[in-house]
Amino acid sequence: MPETNGAPKIGVYVCHCGVNIAAKVNIPEVVEFARTLPFVTVARDYKFMCSDPGQELIQQDLREGRVNRVVVASCSPLMHEATFRRATAEGGQNPFFFHMANIREHVSWVTADEHKATEKAKALIAAAVRRVAFHEPLEKKRVPVHPHVLIVGGGIAGIEAALKIAEAGKKVYLVEREPTIGGHMAQFDKCFPTLDCAACILTPKMTQVRAHPNIKLLTYSEVESVEPYDLRNFKVTIRRKARYVNEDVCTGCGLCADVCPVTVPSEFDEGLGTRKAIYRPFPQAVPNVFTISRRGTPPCQAACSIHQNAQGYITLIAHGKFKEALDVILRDNPLPSICGRICTHPCTVNCTRGTVDEPLNIPGLKRFITDLFPDYKLPTPTKERPEKIAIVGSGPAGLMCAYELRQRGYKPVIFEAQPVAGGMLSVGIPSFRLPRDVITKEINRLKEIGIEIKTNTPVGKAITLEQLRQQYAAVFIAIGAHVERKLKVPGEDLPGVFGGIEFLRRVNLEGPFNLGERVLVIGGGNSAVDAARTALRCGAKEVTMVYRRTRAEMPADPKEIEAAEEEGVKMLFLAAPKTILGNKETGVTALECLKMKLGAPDASGRPAPEPIPGSEFVLSCDAIIVTIGQVPDIASLGERLGLETTTWGTFKVDDVTLETNVPGVFAGGDCVTGPDVVVNAMYAGKKAAISIDRYLNKLDMRAGREREGPYRTEYTIDTSGTPLQKQIPMPAIELARRRTFEEVHTGYTKELAIAEAKRCLDCGICCDCRLCATVCEAKAINYEMKDEIQEIVVGSIILATGFKLFDARRIPRYGYGKYPNVYTALEVERMTNSAGPTGGEIRLRDGRKPKAVGIIHCVGSRDRNYNSYCSRVCCLYSLKLAHLIKERTGAEVYNFYIDMRVPGKAYEEFYDRMLEEGIHFIRGRVAEVTDHAMTPDEEGKLVIRAEDTLIGVIRRIPVDMVVLAVGLEPQADADEVRRKFYISCGSGGFFLERHPKLAPVQTFADGIFIAGACQGPKDIQDTVAQAGAAAAEVLSLIDRGFVELEPNTAFIQEELCSGCKTCIPLCPFSAISFNSDKGVAAINEALCKGCGTCVAACPSGAAQQHLFTDEQIYQEIEGVLSYV
Amino acid sequence: MSKPKVGFYWCASCGGCEEAVVDLAEDVLKVVEAVDIVFWPVALDFKRADVEAMKDGELAACFVNGAIRTSEQEEMAELLREKSQLLIAFGSCSHLGGIPGLANLWDRQAIFEYVYKEAPSVTNPDGVVPQEQTKLGSNGYVLTLPAFRDTVRALDQVVEVDYYLPGCPPPVKLIVNAVMAILENKLPPKGTVLAPDKALCEECPRKPTKPDKLALKELKRPHQILIDSEKCLLAQGLVCLGPATRSGCGAPCVSANMPCTGCLGPTSRVKDYGAKALSAIASLIDSEDEQEIAALMEHIVDPVGTFYRYSLPASLLHRRVRRGATGGAQA
Amino acid sequence: MKYLYYPGCSLKGTSRGYEESVLAAFEALGVAVDELEDWNCCGATAYMAVDEMKAFALAARNLALAELQDGSEHPTLIAPCSGCYLVLSKTQHYLQEYSEVSRMIDGALQAARLRYARTVHVRHPLDILINEIGVQEIARKVRQPLQGLKVASYYGCQIVRPYAAFDDQVNPKTMDNLMQALGAETVDWPLKTRCCGGSLMGTLPEVGVPLSYILLKEALKRGADVVATACPLCQFNLECYQDKMSHQFKERIEIPVVYFTQLLGLALGVSERRLGMHRLLVPMPTVRGGTRPHA
Amino acid sequence: MSEQWEPRIVAFFCTWCTYTAADLAGISRMTYAPNARIVRLMCSGRMDPQFVLKAFADGADGVLIGGCHPGDCHYQAGNYKALRRYTLLKRVLTEMGIEPERVRLEWISASEGDRVQKVMNEMVEQIRKLGPLHLEKAPRRTAAAQEREREAVGVSSQGGAR
């Protein structure tokens, strides 16, 4: 048991608090009652116990030994506990021989009935008396305050506080989430009521912040977390978002922005103006450096198997920068002129524009560039390596692999069985879609950079795989899938029945030949469509495609199907071949088919076709082309080094590395996947090249390859308000000419290409064209930059996170977003600014000068449906805008207000001045803004309907421009932020101060302060004043160097602790540990914050809490119940 | 000089406490040697009259086990109080009310209704229930039975108690220590519970296996799991009340894979055993979701029976609230 | 999905065309609707004005019946008349919000040996068409596109106020989207929910008539061929008083005022008769573009 | 007794949220039923089920516990500990014949003075409906027994700390 002061002699002191208590509580009666309580030796009352004479009463009784424990019945302990503890101490007793009964906040102010109030007061006093008898003497402990300060928010509040503290020689971290400090004030033109220029008074302070040695400015950064560092100080984690521009090197010259092709609405100009993807919010920004907005890889690029940067070249095309576009294309694609023609373009499928009207014709644009520069060259390798690598097959997979390897310095050698290189590209795709010379050129470009291609060299005959493996550092097998699937119906071997690929190969290599009049093509894939269109060009009169399912299930590209139909190809759906009729002599004469119907979905997810029994019918024909898929010709390779294959007759490979079961031998493309599109074959080639490179350098072949190949982007784009404009069709030769092998599409002209490119929505914002890097002399730009995490320790934090404006769209009846000439106040503010989007001109959207302007007050404020509070600044800034509008345009200005709220120095005078200037004031909340004209003079105007409550009539005021005086709201993430900083939000969602009058910038979390509009709507004057106050609070803390903590910590009575460990996991501050020598729990007082959770849970009562022992609380309970 | 006289008496209890005395085994001889047992109905034929005949304080010490349920038990308790210098509450029932104390969840009428009428094993067509007085035949002799009270009480809720020997039954070790203390006159201040004032974990063989940060993701009952005979039972999800219960028994139950049910009662600092035990268990539930918490707690099928198994009469609420009952003490 | 349908008095009387077209259109869309059996007055107008609690009780009975008849977990009750729609919704809302009301109504229902478990979802046909069936689906089923027809969608007050359950209170768009899906053009006008005169038309014509006039005038001014409504009273006020307006304001006010479901029916190829269009006082012009469906 | 009977309620409020809210209610002069007596704890996590039982045993008809909203606890998670104990305690109380409505756990933030008013009034009404808690007074623990408790908490029988 602690030393103590003998038998209790308790003094009870009841405060009148003027009339605050006395008016409700019968003080004499209470005092009388107090005298009757056990151990009470003195009971007195006084008008103001907190006053000096009041405290003197207590001290005398203590000094003269009448009393050794004190109960004061007055206001809330949160208000004056400290005061009376001091008094007790000065009276010579330990300050904790004191307890307070809250008979003001909890009694006199909340109780209607005087008798009941008196009773309640008695009960609380009885409780306090019983409790204080069990109080023990305690010592407050001191904890040092770390001298560093964190300020969150770089608006005028943050700036002001930072400068004040830094001036006092203390270290300040100023964190701002935007690229520059300045906050809302930087957007203002003039400040009321003095109409002085905001920039003129703000920017000097901003530069001081930048220059100040004691301020560490962290812009474009956000606080991630705040953890207790010790009992009183904080460990703060800050995320420094990647700017992609090196802050220390950038000179702010702005050349980058000049060349940047991406234009987006400027946040700083409230969307009235534009900025580039690499930008600086405004010329005086601090720090005066640029930032690149990157939303991430755009959907088109992400969806592309080889991640071709489509947005990049599209944006450049839109700006007529064609050469630059070519460079972007060649960054990741060695076969662009081929892809530009025949790629199935997953990019387009995922194009965001597709959700608005139609996707962009991305391949078309790529083709445009390659057509424009027919003689472009591929980049040449920058280094050379000795290793030779064998590649089997010169299809897109083989070519891509060779190219990627070559770029890494290797010497790839391609072995091709066919007389021409290109694989399926050359033999499987008809030249009216992909002219031969295009292929030849692409292949020559590859040869030019040192890729060797051996045609007519079938591996397995000319040379064996085994030899390749011995002679080459690595082998990549990409033999494609060239063996036709069979229908397996009678008569399939009759003359006049062709495999689709066989047919296409023959036409491609030997030229067109006669098939007869009527041709049937069986199958629904791209090759089938190619075959059909080729058949037409071979002179067939009637070509019909026979497909088991319906159009919806056809795997072929819809555009190709359309093209085929245009050319006259007929479609026969839900029909499957049963027998091919004819004989050796006549050859095929007809096809017997079965009608089909769609059944339940099969493995491919498409509905499975089911034959309808007895529905046979016959189609007569002269030739049948069967194009129902292909498989790899693995047999042709001869002995296969025991390479494993799948049941589908494809090679078995590791899907991450494409390595086969034989080390150093890789396989990819159709011979692994089965028939697939070009771009996926190229993807395989690229993948293999990466694997081979790692394999030869003995690197981990799997690490960090997740993002190879197609994926979906995480973000979504807001496309609302995008004007509709469908895709611009690519010119093609007229139908009549589509009987030859002339290429069908002729490609975009420059004008068309630019127009089509302009449809791009800039999903990724920065399009990664990297032009900025080319002009940056300081070499400040770094596309690889990553977010950085920084940890600091501080003793005090000031939150100055400011406000956000009410979103006027939430009140549709005011027409914001519907009527172009309805603006928010801040938008007009920007217009009035000479550096703003209109160079200081106040204009309507169509450029006219407004003749009449209506300003609607309290938009989103003083309205139960939105915010019930008054935003305080709107009346004044409306007056300011009224003045500026009248001054700049001479327009009639109408203010619609509920009440004019202009308290504050020189505000009323400002209001008077506006009245004299002839601004109109109409008292009444506006009902609606409408373009519904009822009289001629309302035609073409916006009509403001409002009740004029002063004359009691509904008025309709026609105006050209409406300005909405939107209110102030807490930041969207205020709740998240306050949780981070352990503080609360008050009504309206603004940060809650510790006391509305006496602690306006303190919070309930020690060491955390608030300043400016994050605490509640306020103007610049008040904001700056609060910032000063917060700075003063912080400085006084730092200068004292320590804080005293309430000694309400928990402790363990070891003689009673069984070491059951119940308390240990409950402590939120990990203050409790297990002392295994003694086998008992131990509380680290330096970490305990005194919540008492462990005490409540301790099953043997061994844990107790100072100031809140079980017995003290029991006594209080008995007390409050002993007198009701 | 004559040996100090000692008495044993048996109120509402199972008799296990008497067994405990026998369990002293050869030690009992020491006792018999040292003292003169003058009242022990369960073992020797003494009548109430013999006690009444004694002088006040004639008994050096009297060990009373069992709770107080009937008028007869009240009278005996008072009588023995007069005749004894030391009155010792012996065992959980007299210490805290014990298992019989759980009857405080009902009252006399409800109990009679069940025991004499509703219980499945009862055939009582005439619905006869015990009467305090029954006239016998012609001679008008009135047979009387003790009154059956609504509420079960611990011994110290009826008479002054000097010491408490906790446990169901009290562990032999504690009994021996107590007797020796009396003989050697080395007694602690009156009102003390004659057992260590630390919880059971202190002497639990499984203590070392208890994790520092225990979080209960599920609560189990012994028959629901294969119990690891080494590991802390709480850590296995069993509701073991060791952390809330006085030590001194040597943790025999826990050693036999049986979670502690709390017969030695709370430590000196705890006002309400059940509440504290409950608080400790609940605090360790590993969830912050209201529904989930409730769901987890459902696994404690009988909270009162679990947390107040031995201590309901001595608890703050002491008995179930009866609608319409008027406040004020009643017995 | 099957729906229950609450006609209310108007759809059986003055606005039969509304009922006919609702049912025909839903049928054409292949959506089954069953009429609520033994329904009674929704509680609107007089009751609501005189004694809310009575109105709630009446509405609650209908809701209870709906649960009884439907038996599914969350029955949907379609109320085409905006008056009914509002009262039923309001009752549902009050039963959930105010325990007092809840208690009294349960008592009342008990007297009728009914109980209501609060599961019914009261919805307007527009809501169903847009949010359940969807414009794409409807567009797919259009057989007679309303090519070149300029429609002024008029929503009236009750389907968006006070509960904006499925559309914006000030500038609703569902009906416009529907009309566009039918191939019609919609005029963008600011009076979509402005008062039609309501019952003042009868009680205070000098106030009521001008209110309707303002609406039609603006619709005509914006080049509308027809006004589409979603409420019997609106339709009645706007259609029946056109002569009066013309006379009072000395200008020809003549424009067909139809139920939006009638236009829907037309586009889906339902005959005019089945849509009750022969009941119109101001006949619909031939639908330009597509030939006029045969009566 | 019912006509002059008034519900007796003990309210245990955490310092940071609910007690402050109660002060705010006072500052805003929101009058409410005077039946509840507030006992201040640092955190609702300090709430020991014994306090609730003690209150009932000493004649309370209802107990109100106030803490910070989930996620807002000044001590991070004290309010969740309170919630856990409260949940289990309510089951015990029900078995002991005490209506669960007599104990109420409320999350009230420092800014919700109006909620204090509302909850206080509701609570009083609730208890008024339930009527007085007819908990029979525990049989008087005899002097020695009480002394034993005093000993335990280390105070002399004259009440004061030794």
Q: What is the dihedral of CA A173, A179, A184, A187, to 10 degrees?
A: 140
Is there a contact between D95 and B162 if contact means CB atoms under 8 Å apart? no
What 3-state class would DSSP assign to A450?
Answer: coil
Average pLDDT of the residues in B90-113:
95
For strand A1080-1083 and strand A1103-1105, is the pairing parallel, antiparallel, or unpaired?
unpaired
CB contact under 8 A, D95 and B303: yes
User: What is the reported pLDDT for D156?
Assistant: 39
pLDDT > 70: percent of chain A: 99
Q: What is the mean pLDDT of residues C271-283?
A: 92
C and D touch per CB criterion (3+ pairs under 8 A):
no
Give me the torsion for CA of A468, A474, A475, A476, rounded to 10°.
-160
State whether the Cα torsion B197-B199-B200-B204 is positive or negative: negative
Contacts with D136 from chain B: Cβ below 8 Å:
151, 318-319, 321-322, 325, 327-330
Distance from the Cα of B129 to chain D's closest Cα (Å) equals: 26
Verify whether the Cβ–Cβ distance B280 to A1098 is below 8 Å: yes
Alpha helices in chain B (DSSP H): 16-23, 27-34, 48-53, 71-83, 92-96, 108-112, 172-183, 252-255, 273-283, 290-297, 303-307
CA B189, distance to chain mean position in Å, is: 22
Share of chain B above pLDDT 90, in %: 79
Instruction: Tell me the residue length of chain B.
Output: 331
For the cut 90, the answer to whether the pLDDT of residue C263 exceeds it is yes
Q: Which residue of B has its CA nearest to D50?
A: B275
A1096 pLDDT higher than 90:
yes
**What is the β-pairing status of strands A1080-1083 and A1072-1075?**
antiparallel
Q: What is the pLDDT of residue A4?
A: 62
- For residue A812, the chain C residues in CB contact (below 8 A) are 168-171
A635 vs B7, more confident:
B7
Residue A605 pLDDT exceeds 80 = no
Paired tokens of A522: 């069986």
In this structure, the number of other CB atoms found within 10 A of the CB of residue A993 comes to: 22
Q: By CB neighbour count within 10 A (0-12 exposed, 13-18 middle, 19+ buried), where does C111 fall?
A: exposed
**pLDDT score for D154:** 47
Q: Would you call B199 an interface residue with chain A, using a CB distance cutoff of 8 Å?
A: yes
Name the neighbours of B, counting chains with at least 3 Cβ pairs within 8 A. A, D
Q: What was the pLDDT predicted at B5?
A: 92
Closest residue on chain A to C192 (Cα): A932
> Is A938 near chain C, with CB under 8 Å?
no
Scanning every residue of chain A, which has its alpha carbon at the shortest distance from the alpha carbon of B275?
A1099
Looking at the predicted structure, is the pLDDT value of residue C291 above 80? no
- Take residue A1001 and report the two structure tokens written for it: 């910038």
Question: How far lies A819's CA from each of A636, A942, C220, in Å?
Answer: 71, 8, 21
Q: Check A1117 against D72: CB less than 8 A apart.
A: no
Select from A15, A49, A60, A20 the least CA-distant residue to A34.
A15
Residues β-bridged to residue A1050: A1105
Distance from C-alpha of B149 to C-alpha of D96, rounded to nearest angstrom:
18
Rounded to the nearest 10 degrees, the angle between the axes of helix A114-132 and helix A27-35 is 30
Query: Distance from CA of residue A815 to its chain's centroid?
Result: 29
Kindly identify which residue of chain A lies nearest to residue D79, measuring between CA atoms: A1093
- From chain A, pick out residues whose CB is under 8 angstroms from the CB of C189: 932
A932 touches chain C (CB under 8 A): yes
Assess A486–C contact: CB distance below 8 Å, yes or no: no
**Are residues C189 and A932, on separate chains, in Cβ contact within 8 Å?**
yes
Chain B CB contacts of D81 below 8 Å: 283
Instruction: Supply the pLDDT for residue A292.
Output: 97
- Residue A1061, chain B, CB below 8 Å: the answer is yes
Query: Could you give the CA distance from residue A137 to residue A1051 in angstroms, rounded to a whole number?
Result: 15
- Structure-block tokens of residue A436: 């031969």
Q: Which A residues, 981 through 1020, put their C-beta within 8 Å of a C-beta on chain D?
A: 982, 984-987, 992, 996, 1004-1005
**How far, in whole angstroms, is CA A221 from its chain's centroid?**
14
Judge contact between B165 and B194, C-beta under 8 A.
yes
Average pLDDT, chain D: 87
Please give the pLDDT value at position B134.
Answer: 87
* A928 part of contact set with chain C, CB < 8 Å: yes
- At residue D138 the predicted structure's pLDDT band, cuts being 50, 70 and 90, is confident
Beta strands in B228-293 (DSSP E): none
Task: Output the pLDDT for position D150.
Answer: 54
pLDDT at C130 over 50: yes
Per-residue pLDDT at D60 exceeds 90:
yes
Kindly determine whether residue A1110 and residue D50, on different chains, have CB atoms separated by under 8 Å: yes
Tell me the average pLDDT across B197-210.
Answer: 95
For residue A982 the two structure tokens come to 């352990």
| CB-CB under 8 Å, B278 with D88 | yes
Residues 200 through 219 of chain C touching chain A, CB cutoff 8 Å: 214, 218
Tokens of A875: 């009346």
The neighbour count for residue B117, using CB atoms within 10 Å, is 13
- 3-state SS of A154-165 is CCHHHHHHHHHH
pLDDT at residue D161 greater than cutoff 50 = no
Identify the band that residue C287 occupies on the pLDDT scale cut at 50, 70 and 90.
low
**What chain D residue is nearest to A1116 in terms of C-alpha separation?**
D39
Whether pLDDT at A262 is above 80: yes
pLDDT digits (tens, 9 = 90+) for A483-525: 888 889 999 889 999 999 999 999 998 889 998 999 999 999 9
Query: Which chains are adjacent to chain A, needing at least 3 Cβ pairs under 8 Å?
Result: B, C, D
Closest of D17, D124, D132 to residue A116, by C-alpha: D124
- Confidence bin at D1 (pLDDT 50/70/90): very low
A-chain residues near B241 (CB < 8 A): 1099
Residue of chain A with shortest Cα separation from D117: A110
Among partner residues A1060, A1065, A1114, which is closest to B243 by beta-carbon distance?
Answer: A1060
Is the bond into A193 cis (omega within 30 degrees of 0)? yes
Maximum Cα interatomic distance, chain C, rounded to a whole number of Å: 58
pLDDT, tens only, A235-249: 999 999 999 999 999
Contacts of B77 in chain D (CB under 8 A): none
Pairing type for strands A623-626 and A607-611 reads: unpaired
Q: How confident is the model at residue D124 (pLDDT cuts 50, 70, 90)?
A: very high
pLDDT at D158 over 80: no
Cβ contact (<8 Å) for B210 and A1060?
yes
Residue A428's closest CA among A512, A339, A503, A535?
A: A503
Integer Cα distance of C2 and B311 in angstroms? 61
A996–D27 C-beta distance less than 8 A: yes
- Distance between CA atoms of residues A211 and A349, nearest Å: 51
Residues from chain D contacting residue B293 (CB–CB below 8 Å): 83-84, 87
- Please give the backbone phi and psi of residue A420, each rounded to the nearest 5 degrees, phi first: -120, 155
Find chain D residues with C-beta within 8 A of B318's C-beta. 136, 138-139
Residues 31-50 of D with CB under 8 A from A: 31-32, 34, 37-43, 45-48, 50
Model pLDDT for residues A1022-1070, shown as the tens digit of each residue: 999 999 999 999 999 999 999 988 899 999 999 999 999 999 999 988 8
Q: What is the mean pLDDT of residues A282-294?
A: 95
Contact A353, A759 (CB under 8 A): yes
Cβ-contact A348, A341 below 8 angstroms:
no
Amino acid at B8: F
pTM: 0.79
Q: What is the DSSP string of B7-55?
A: EEEE-BS-SHHHHHHHHTTTHHHHHHHHSEEEE-TTTS---HHHHHHSP
The pLDDT of residue B183: 87
| b/e per residue A586-621 (b: at least 16 CB within 10 A) | eebbbbbbbbbebeeeeeeeebebebeeeeeeebeb
Q: Cis before residue A287, ω within 30 degrees of 0?
A: yes
Cβ–Cβ gap C170/A813 under 8 Å: yes
Mean pLDDT of chain C: 91
Q: Report the residue of chain A nearest D41, measured CA to CA.
A: A1108
List pLDDT tens digits, range A870-895: 999 999 999 999 999 999 999 999 99
Which residue does chain C place closest to A943, by CA atoms?
C190
**Per residue in A440-492, pLDDT tens?**
999 999 999 999 999 999 998 889 999 999 999 999 999 999 888 888 999 98
Neighbours of B114 (CB within 10 A): 12
* Residue in A812, A931, A934 closest to C170 by CB: A812
- Retrieve residue A590's tokens: 């007809």
**CA–CA separation, A447 and A1055 (whole Å):** 89
User: Cα–Cα distance between A73 and A122 in angstroms, integer?
Assistant: 9
Distance, CA of A1010 to CA of A1003 (rounded, Å) = 7
The 10s digit of each residue's pLDDT in D61-116 is 999 999 999 988 888 899 999 999 999 999 999 999 999 999 999 999 988 999 99
CA neighbours within 13 Å on the CB side: how many for A1006?
19
Bridge partners (DSSP) of residue A1043 are A143
pLDDT of residue B85: 95
Q: How far apart (Å, rounded) are the C-alpha atoms in residues C165 and D144? A: 70
| D84 chain-A contacts, CB cut-off 8 A | none
Location of structure tokens 């640029």: A290
